[in-house]
Amino acid sequence: AILDRFGRVIARNRPAFDILLNRELARDADPVLAALAPTLETGLAELREQVKRAGARPRYEPVVLASDVPLATVAFIEARRADLPGISISMSMKRSYTEGDSGSHMLGYVGEVTKAMLEKPEYAASMSGDIVGRTGIERAYNSELSGRRGERRVIVNSVGRVMGELTGGVAAEPGQDIRFTINLDMQRELDASFADLVGAGVFIDPQTGEILAMTSRPGYD
């Protein structure tokens, strides 16, 4: 998490739920997709296309039908699990900014690491597909916030399916919370004072040089 000077959360990870289809357990996926389409607020044709695009991958690999769905959708699917063969729910983590776009230039944002970024020393520990800091504080403190990757030792068959797990490996290390000199109360007041105006502002403690609040308008929209 990214914290203000008093330990209040500015940015953190939050749980997000994805809806998956296991094609091995749903040989005839059409009735399942038709039942899910209204709940996922999407068309049957679009869900069919997602399954079709996964056709070249091994059947044991699940297909992501929807990402970051509301909790109400998760509850609906859980209550009807017996009527939706092959459907499962997976939890992942998403970055969440508690103050919306307040301080967005300072905080920056995260995104999938690019090929060009992987060639830079600061992303030496990253791999393709990783979510990393792209700008601002998220990038400057990416290694501290990200933690360290773990490692599992598994047995796979000829098509890459995991058949068993071996002892050993390396435990993952969570990232560190980082506390900054920002005062959230002052940050909110500074942002509110700009209203619809364009410009930038910063509050600095003249005794220490600490940044208490900073903003720049327009934001990341």
Task: Name the pLDDT band for 221 (thresholds 50, 70, 90).
Answer: low
Task: Name the pLDDT band for 26 (thresholds 50, 70, 90).
Answer: confident
Q: What is the pLDDT of residues 169-186, one digit of tens each?
A: 899 899 999 999 999 999
Is 70 exceeded by the pLDDT of residue 205? Answer: yes
Task: Name the pLDDT band for 145 (thresholds 50, 70, 90).
Answer: very high
Task: Name the pLDDT band for 193 (thresholds 50, 70, 90).
Answer: very high
The chain-wide mean pLDDT, for the chain, equals 89
Q: What is the pLDDT of residue 209?
A: 96
**Cα 210 to the chain's mean position, in Å?**
30
Q: What is the pLDDT of residue 60?
A: 80
131, containing H or E segment: strand 131-133
Sign, Cα dihedral of 102, 4, 146, 18: negative
Q: What is the pLDDT of residue 14?
A: 92
Is 80 exceeded by the pLDDT of residue 15? Answer: yes
Q: What is the pLDDT of residue 128?
A: 82
**Residue 107 and residue 178 in contact, taking contact as beta carbons nearer than 8 Å:** no
Mean pLDDT value across residues 190-205: 92
Q: What is the pLDDT of residues 42-84, one digit of tens each?
A: 888 888 888 888 777 777 888 889 888 999 999 988 988 888 8
Q: What is the pLDDT of residue 92?
A: 86
Compute, in degrees rounded to 10, the torsion defined by CA atoms 13, 14, 15, 20: -70
Pick 129 or 96 by higher pLDDT.
96
Q: What is the pLDDT of residue 55?
A: 75
**Residue 36 and residue 90 in contact, taking contact as beta carbons nearer than 8 Å:** no
Q: What is the pLDDT of residue 30?
A: 86
Task: Name the pLDDT band for 123 (thresholds 50, 70, 90).
Answer: confident
> Checking phi first, is residue 137 left (phi over 0); if not, alpha (psi -120 to 50) or beta?
alpha
